[in-house]
Amino acid sequence: MASTVAYFEQMAPQWSDGDTASSCFQQRLATVLSWLPGTRQPAQVLDYGCGSGVFVKALADRGYHVTGVDESPAMIEAARRTLATDPAASDACRLERVDSEGLGGEFLNQRFDCVLCLGVLEYVDGYQALLARLCSVLKPGGSLILSVPNKLSLMRKLERLIYRFPWLLKKAGLFSYLTADDSYLRFQVHQFSGRQLNREMARHGATFEQGLYHVALGHPAESPLARRMVHHPLFGMTLIARYRKQTAAA
């Protein structure tokens, strides 16, 4: 786990620009915003694994009260810089560095209307314990939104093949993000199927509400066929899913 934190530490300085510029981020942001509760009574949202604070700021700008937590000190500092550009958003946010795998922290003493955990579980050895804690801080009836790599995706399988045999493409300079010595796949310890995730969440009293598969499309003029393909479990590389914590009556 320490090596994973070190990986994200070195990524922190350029993380914000890379995130906001990517179509993948924009798609995730649009999906998450459409699934969040309304802001008539400002909802309390936890962003676990907040990184450089791009999501935190986007949510605060829309009227949510946000707690952002991360294990990486450099990411927390990057998040502070992100929020410093907008004092109003900063006032609606709290940032906290947490210990390994979220097993401690002040955020555990709070209760949230919604919890986000986006692009985190795949790097956590004991992800089951982390999910249990995230569900424990969720109010009854609240939502937990997860984003994880889809293990059923043929494109994920191709990525793994390239990563395992980098010499096939390294000399040609192709797929450098997979063939480099510090490829993110070196630190990714899990991929998930929707069925696997549903079973795990059911153990913590949360039921599946909605989900989608996607790959970031490079151009809005992609064909309808291409759009259908990337939202299919055999092609979509990322699964985004929303779960609802059962109420006491349920």
Residue pair 115/32 in contact by the 8 Å Cβ criterion: no
Do residues 156 and 214 make contact, with C-beta atoms less than 8 angstroms apart? no
Q: What is the DSSP string of 46-86?
A: EEET-TTSHHHHHHHHTT-EEEEEES-HHHHHHHHHHHHT-
CB 35 within 8 A of CB 210: yes
> The whole model's pTM is what?
0.86
CATH number of the domain at 200, please. 3.40.50.150
pLDDT digits 0-9 by tens, 2-33: 566 665 666 655 555 555 666 677 778 888 88
Higher pLDDT, 162 or 202: 202
pLDDT in tens, 134-150: 999 999 999 999 999 99
pLDDT at residue 68, as a whole number: 96
Residue 29 lies in a domain: yes
Residues 6 or more apart in contact with residue 100 via CB below 8 angstroms: 1, 71
17 falls within a domain: yes
Residue 168 lies in a domain: no
Question: How confident is the model at residue 97, as a pLDDT?
Answer: 92
Does residue 69 lie in a domain region? yes
Q: What is the pLDDT of residues 214-247, one digit of tens each?
A: 875 444 445 566 566 667 888 888 999 999 999 8
> Is 19 inside a domain boundary?
yes
How many domains does one find in the chain?
1
Residue 60 domain flag: yes
Instruction: Return the pLDDT at 136.
Output: 95
Q: In the structure, what pLDDT confidence band is assigned to residue 201 with cuts at 50, 70 and 90?
A: very high
> Which domain range does residue 114 map to?
2-149+189-214+239-245
With respect to residue 177, please indicate whether it lies within any of the assigned structural domains: no
Q: Give the ranges where 154-243 is alpha helix by DSSP (H).
A: 154-164, 167-170, 176-179, 194-203, 224-230
Is 158 within the bounds of a domain?
no
Residue 249, H or E segment: none
Rounded to whole angstroms, how far apart are CA atoms 184 and 189?
10
Neighbours of 150 (CB within 10 A): 24
